Amino acid sequence: MAEARQVDVVVVGLGVGGEEAAGRLAAAGLNVVGVEHRLVGGECPYWGCIPTKIMVRAGNALAEARRIPGLAGTSTVEADWAPVAKRIRDEATDDWNDKVAVDRFTAKGGTFVRGTATITGPGRVRVGDEEYTARRGLVIATGTAAVIPPVEGLAGTPYWTNREAVEAATLPESMLVLGGGAIGCELAQAYARFGVRVTVIEGSPRLLAMEEPESSAVAEAALAADGVLVRTGARARSVAHDGEFQVTLTDGTVLTGEKLLVATGRAARLSGLGLENVGLDPAARFLSTDERMRAGDGVWAVGDVTGNGAFTHMAMYEADIAVRDLLGQGGPGADYRARPRVTFLDPEIGAVGLTEQQAREAGLNVQVGYVPLNQTSRGFIHGPGNEGFLKLVADHDRGVLVGGTTAGQSGGEMIAAVSVAVHAEVPVSTLLSQIWAYPTFHRGLGDALKALA
């Protein structure tokens, strides 16, 4: 093996977090090697956020057109997946080619290496026959991969994960979805709106189980309105495939579908990375980090791999903190109190901070303000498609909001106001004196604040 090449930093995995960290460090003048074995940009642009939101946008256009009767005349809607698949292939993913992203990184002065990185010792990384020694340290940004549950018969069948669902040039006639979290729900609704017969099988008693129960109810009603059959509290006992999928539930029910999408969560794959060579536990679920994103001596970790929230904005946020630390620039450390998330259903479900239950479990003196969207002026005006609610969670003792959910049209936009309040700890008394424009959806936040009790 050739002598190890001396550099400043090696970034392992150039998904959202790694690309941001590597690009920023290279632009700052450091000698940076970025290693990626698939596509630079990672899950979000090629199989995650961007293509799935292109599907959601298209599905929402169909749904809105179907709301014309009763509001504005008549409409005839004929769904066609071809423009969606074309946008995903041509505009979003460049036919799953990352040349533009690689060039963007190298133009900043970074060295790109395509391959699988293994950590061989402190500051040392091997990719194929090459070895690199990083003077300042390593950034681990290896993301997560789909978890495939150990259901009898599932392995070996041609099941889909989000990757195949995103790459589909044509749609199946029917699809079973195992898992009713963010991926399962978003893809179920998008596919259903294009005429696919979709069944969601969720093991826990409700969809979007990590969110407010009201969010789960909204999600379930929205999917049902689009013709999706939702089976909650249902576990798959076995899977068989003979041209079509048969999923047998633990209660004996047999569900069939042309495709089976497995959307049962994602996990960091830490074994095989060589973490033991830098004193870290390869059997851990995630890489735990301090407030500077340090996972160990000379090792930083950012993005999904840290387990602090598998969202693109979290990967970008953590990359910024690691970059500042590596460059000795100081600034604020990681603070997860106001972590926002949006499930892109129609209605959109925005959320930030703690749910009511999480706040109670944290021992806070909880107050809740809840307003159904259809009871606000804008909800009334909007009519069809006005499902949703606003829910605020306050810590009465400190007089601040600690969380909130904004479900409805623009729910993902409305959450911004609650995020500011939670992040900046704006006193509830100050928020109560705020002027909210009429007749907006977000004006309902004023009502929810008044309802805090």
Ligand X SMILES: Cc1cc2nc3c(=O)[nH]c(=O)nc-3n(C[C@H](O)[C@H](O)[C@H](O)COP(=O)(O)OP(=O)(O)OC[C@H]3O[C@@H](n4cnc5c(N)ncnc54)[C@H](O)[C@@H]3O)c2cc1C
Ligand Y SMILES: NC(=O)c1ccc[n+]([C@@H]2O[C@H](COP(=O)([O-])OP(=O)(O)OC[C@H]3O[C@@H](n4cnc5c(N)ncnc54)[C@H](O)[C@@H]3O)[C@@H](O)[C@H]2O)c1
Binding site for ligand Y (CB under 6 A): 149, 151, 178-184, 186, 201-204, 209, 235-236, 263-266, 310-311, 341-344
Question: Judged by CB, which is closer to ligand X: 38, or 66?
Answer: 38
Contact predicate 35/143, CB 8 Å = no
Kindly state the smallest distance separating residue 68's Cβ from ligand X, in Å.
28
Kindly state the smallest distance separating residue 43's Cβ from ligand Y, in Å.
8
Does residue 48 interact with ligand X by CB under 6 A? Answer: yes
Binding partner at 116 among ligand Y, ligand X, none, C-beta below 5 to 8 Å by kind? ligand X
Binding partner at 204 among ligand X, ligand Y, none, C-beta below 5 to 8 Å by kind? ligand Y
Among 7, 9, 11, 15, binds ligand X (CB under 6 A): 15
Among 7, 12, 22, 175, binds ligand X (CB under 6 A): 12
Give strand pairing partners of 296.
299
Residue with smallest beta-carbon separation from ligand X: 15
Among 22, 49, 364, 407, binds ligand X (CB under 6 A): 49
Kindly state the smallest distance separating residue 305's Cβ from ligand X, in Å.
6
Give strand pairing partners of 113.
35
Between CA 314 and CA 293 the distance in angstroms is 12
Amino acid letter, 118 = T
Does residue 340 interact with ligand X by CB under 6 A? Answer: no
Does residue 273 interact with ligand X by CB under 6 A? Answer: yes
Stretch that binds ligand X, among 78-86, 305-313, 385-393, 421-429 (CB under 6 A): 305-313
First to last CA, the chain: 68
Q: Which two tokens stand for residue 391?
A: 């829910």
Binding-site members are: 53, 179-186, 202, 265, 304
Residue with tokens 């150039």: 14
Question: Judged by CB, which is closer to ligand Y: 56, or 452?
Answer: 56
Binding partner at 172 among ligand Y, ligand X, none, C-beta below 5 to 8 Å by kind? none
Binding partner at 17 among ligand X, ligand Y, none, C-beta below 5 to 8 Å by kind? ligand X
Which of 96-100's residues contact partners 24+ apart within 8 Å by CB, and which partners? 96/39, 96/46, 96/167, 97/39, 98/36, 98/39, 98/40, 98/41, 98/46
What is the full DSSP assignment across 118-144?
EEEETTEEEETTEEEEEEEEEEE----
Does residue 190 interact with ligand X by CB under 6 A? Answer: no
CB atoms within 10 A of CB 265: 16
Amino acid letter, 290 = D
Question: Judged by CB, which is closer to ligand X: 49, or 201?
Answer: 49
Question: Judged by CB, which is closer to ligand Y: 264, or 406?
Answer: 264
Among 10, 25, 117, 188, binds ligand X (CB under 6 A): 117
Give strand pairing partners of 370.
391
Q: Give the torsion sign (CA, 200, 203, 207, 211).
A: negative
Contact predicate 143/225, CB 8 Å = no
Does residue 446 interact with ligand X by CB under 6 A? Answer: no
Between CA 441 and CA 64 the distance in angstroms is 17
Question: Judged by CB, which is closer to ligand Y: 303, or 446?
Answer: 303
Among 134, 183, 351, 392, binds ligand X (CB under 6 A): 183
Question: Judged by CB, which is closer to ligand X: 60, or 367?
Answer: 60
Q: What is the edge-to-edge ordering of all strands in the sheet holding 245-249? A: 236-241, 245-249, 254-257
Q: Which two tokens stand for residue 337?
A: 């109190």
Torsion of CA 310, 311, 314, 318, to 10 degrees: 60
Binding partner at 184 among ligand Y, ligand X, none, C-beta below 5 to 8 Å by kind? ligand Y
Which chain residues interact with ligand X by CB under 6 A? 12-13, 15-18, 35-38, 42-44, 48-49, 52-53, 116-117, 141-144, 162, 183, 273, 303-305, 310-313, 315, 344
